[in-house]
Chains A and B, each alone.
Chain A
């Protein structure tokens, strides 16, 4: 995991996989999966905003 401010984020609904109960491997895999989802989400949001910007500019020039 990368660390940083998000390193201790735990997804909702995963109470059964608390750090105390789950194996270190399971916690790592889950954390990595959440980080994957986070960065894929950020990518989608940024490119959606850029597509929206194209549409806004097209509107403005009419």
Chain B
């Protein structure tokens, strides 16, 4: 089949599959969080951890629960890696070095999954399963429960309660992530993804050489890696490895997995606030920007400038032949607009503008559709800013879903928007300003700058994909990256919950003639404009000196 036609077909099928799942999955998620009933297994868990499931929390208590839970997760995951050599199924791997173990712990707890290590030669099966995979579930769940708390802020009136963090976490893991993961893992195994406890095999190749093959429980972790928008690969080559992603169908299915929850959450939002049209607007904005990103990357990767590219039919360096340009571009566009960060190709080898779009996708703040939960709360914060700007233009008090957007709400929205780019750009500036981190830059000029900016933007936005070409497995990058990931994950979540609390205390105001209709295409256009202008204003100098300068050279 023609390569371009195959690419279009993949996208069409993907959009169709996501559209089919949008309503049932979104409605199901909404029902989970609106139902007062608890499952038996959930009640048993509440008893074990000693919480009252009927006790709703104020936003501050909710935020403290998020922080306490995540802080303990960091320390537990760190400990697990440090005692790896004493654990069963460690495959003879020694303890993970301290700075690397801490970076990995911060990375997996924040849903970033930035990896300064090679999975198959650093982590034993116990750490992969009891440590990293567990964090893949719970870090994804944290993102979802934070957006649910924010949505309750829009739903509820004259209260300071946003729900119970422990109940929400339990429900999303047991009722959403685990069931889908079981089904998804079986499908992945059927496509050829391995799942075993085999240790290494040494085989003879056709050319007479020897090759060492590593086994492992891959399919069971691959599914949550994509579904939870985590992205941390079992193998160093991530989804380019044939044991993680063996063929075209597994590639398509993995892309579907990483998009399905983020694209269904707007439906849950619409359902919970009692107006499905609000969900349609948000999902339309997300879909438009996602398709633009995929289309843009595909376009630039198909450019045939240069003899090698003409011979290969496009920029094939760093791409798997079995996926080609369409499968690689679709994956790259999807993994960078969500906070997944899994890769099936080498982003560093993309054309300057193709790689630049991948970087721009992350700079969008992971909102189109973004990470599980994190994408929707990011989009809702931007919707609040959009409503505020539109209100300024017509001289009326801005309202969103019957809640007034006053200076206090705008304060939290503005702080939310500032924290992530500040973390990314300060981290990148420090890396460029000191001799030790500078020594890690392998490429001179604009490409080297892009590598640094990409690394810190990816970490700050909890994406985790690496542009590569930058040696980040050093003490400096391990510590600086860990700090950036933790601050840029949890500080924005505090502002999201503060906004939720502020909205929940308000009385709903009825819509009037001056109310901006947020379910209309005009609002969607405004929202797209605000997203792009905000990113442009924040990151333009870095983009101009990096990918633009390289591409126009």
A residues apposed to B, CB below 8 Å? 1-7, 32, 35-36, 38-40, 42-43, 46-47, 50-51, 53-55, 57-58, 60-61
- Interface majority SS on A: helix, strand, loop or mixed? helix
Interface size on B, residues (CB 8 A): 38
**In contact, A61 and B98 (Cβ under 8 angstroms):** no
**In contact, A42 and B479 (Cβ under 8 angstroms):** yes
Bound Cα distance A11, B468 (Å): 35
Residue of A nearest to B412 (CB): A57
* Contacts known (A42-B482, A46-B483); A2 close to B71, Cβ less than 8 A: no
**In contact, A40 and B75 (Cβ under 8 angstroms):** yes
Chain A residues positioned under 8 Å from B501 (CB to CB) = 61
B residues apposed to A, CB below 8 Å? 60, 63-64, 67, 70-71, 74-75, 78, 82, 97-102, 106, 408, 411-412, 436, 474-479, 482-483, 486-487, 490-491, 494-495, 498, 501-502
Chain A residues positioned under 8 Å from B476 (CB to CB) = 4-5
**In contact, B74 and A53 (Cβ under 8 angstroms):** no
Q: What are 27 A-B pairs with beta-carbon distances under 8 A? A: A1-B98, A2-B98, A3-B474, A4-B436, A4-B477, A5-B436, A5-B476, A6-B475, A6-B479, A32-B97, A38-B98, A39-B102, A40-B75, A42-B482, A42-B483, A43-B71, A43-B78, A46-B487, A47-B70, A50-B486, A50-B490, A51-B64, A51-B67, A54-B60, A54-B67, A57-B60, A61-B502
Chain A residues positioned under 8 Å from B408 (CB to CB) = 61
How near does chain A come to B328, taking the closest CB pair, in angstroms? Answer: 33
How near does chain B come to A25, taking the closest CB pair, in angstroms? Answer: 14
* Contacts known (A7-B475, A46-B483); A1 close to B97, Cβ less than 8 A: yes
Chain A residues positioned under 8 Å from B483 (CB to CB) = 42, 46
Bound Cα distance A45, B59 (Å): 22
**In contact, B71 and A47 (Cβ under 8 angstroms):** yes
Chain B residues positioned under 8 Å from A43 (CB to CB) = 71, 74-75, 78, 102, 106
Chain A residues positioned under 8 Å from B494 (CB to CB) = 50, 53-54, 57
Which of A7, A43, A50 counts the most B-chain CB atoms under 10 A from its CB? A50
How near does chain A come to B106, taking the closest CB pair, in angstroms? Answer: 8
Given A4-B474, A7-B475, A57-B60, 12 more A-B residue pairs with CB atoms under 8 Å apart are A2-B100, A2-B475, A3-B474, A36-B82, A39-B78, A42-B483, A43-B78, A50-B490, A51-B64, A54-B64, A54-B67, A57-B498
Chain A residues positioned under 8 Å from B495 (CB to CB) = 57
**In contact, A2 and B75 (Cβ under 8 angstroms):** no
Residue of B nearest to A55 (CB): B60
**In contact, A53 and B98 (Cβ under 8 angstroms):** no
* Contacts known (A50-B67, A51-B64, A54-B67); A39 close to B99, Cβ less than 8 A: yes
Which are the 8 A-B pairs with shortest beta-carbon distances?
Answer: A4-B475, A2-B99, A35-B98, A39-B102, A47-B71, A2-B475, A4-B476, A2-B97
